[in-house]
Amino acid sequence: MKKFKFSLAFTVLIGLTLSGNASAYQIGASYVWGPGVPGYEASATLHNGTIDTSTLAIGDFMGRNAATPNAASFGDSGVSVGWDDNWIGGVGDANTNGDALDGLWTQIFADGGWWDLGAAYDSVAVFSAQDHGPYLGEGLEYHIFGTNTLWDNGSLSTEALLTDVYLDGWRTHNTAEDSNANGWLSDDISGVFQLDNSYRYIKLVAWGASPYDEPEIDAVAGVIKVPEPGSLALLGVGLVGLGFMRRRMKNS
């Protein structure tokens, strides 16, 4: 009887899980979720906690078009206002605001703004800065499109669909920062969107008419998805079986 000895090693890329980390959303804060809210999808999931930012690929804000690398307007809804839903204009930089989760936003209008994710993703997370209501619309007042050719409006994908909303955004809600006591902070409300394919470049366009016509964007990021546990188990069984069959063939 022949003895078979083999080992199996494989690496799994662990990415962002679409489930909340914390659950500090201020219960009782007033908001509307339904038809008429920008991006509304009946199938989208609302999470009370924060999105897991540990493996997000934060994009680089490229500008409004090839000839205009700077935003039309920029400012801060973070440290400058104590993270309450307020804003101060002209803080930061017209080109680098919108590149990090720091409260420094770039304001986008009907002509849109572009982000480079550095690699192709089929899911993106958008982090906006809220400076007023109505909520949740104020945090989702934009359209998302993808392409693999920067500045090429002709190659844009169909509009991405909203799949998840994180009511705590990316930073755990702290009621002590809620100076106006309305239950909302500037960094609450983050949306995750599914594209029809994988794209490196994202174009974000303001949703439409007032009050949903001028989103302040803190960051746009590619989402690395975690393989389902069942899929990993099947992959492991398949690889073990393949190794066993190859060894049997070699020794037959």
Amino acid 40: pLDDT:
97
Instruction: Tell the residue number behind the tokens 């899911």, with chain if given.
Output: 123
Report angle CA 226, 129, 199 to the nearest 5 degrees. 40
Amino acid 20: pLDDT:
47
Amino acid 24: pLDDT:
72
Amino acid 226: pLDDT:
72
**52-77 residues labelled b (16+ CB within 10 A) or e (exposed):** bbebbbbbbbbbbeeeeeebebbbbb
**88-122 residues labelled b (16+ CB within 10 A) or e (exposed):** eeebbebbebbbebbbbbbbbeeebbbbebeeebb
Domain ranges of the chain: 45-251
Residue segments in the chain with a per-residue pLDDT below the cut of 50: 1-20, 231-233, 235, 237, 239-240, 244
Amino acid 250: pLDDT:
55
Q: State which amino acid sits at residue 44.
A: A
- Lookup: tokens for 74: 């920029």
Amino acid 119: pLDDT:
98
Instruction: Tell the residue number behind the tokens 């909203």, with chain if given.
Output: 162
Amino acid 246: pLDDT:
55
Amino acid 91: pLDDT:
98
Cis peptide before 227 (omega within 30 of 0): no
E strands, 131-189, in order:
142-147, 161-166
Cβ neighbours for 183, distance < 8 A, ≥ 6 positions apart:
26, 28, 29, 30
How far the first Cα of the chain sits from its last, in Å, is 12
Q: How far apart are CA 208 and CA 112, in angstroms?
A: 11
Amino acid 197: pLDDT:
98
Question: How many Cα atoms are found within 13 Å in the side-chain-facing hemisphere of 16?
Answer: 23
Q: How far apart are CA 215 and CA 41, in angstroms?
A: 19
Q: How far apart are CA 221 and CA 60, in angstroms?
A: 9
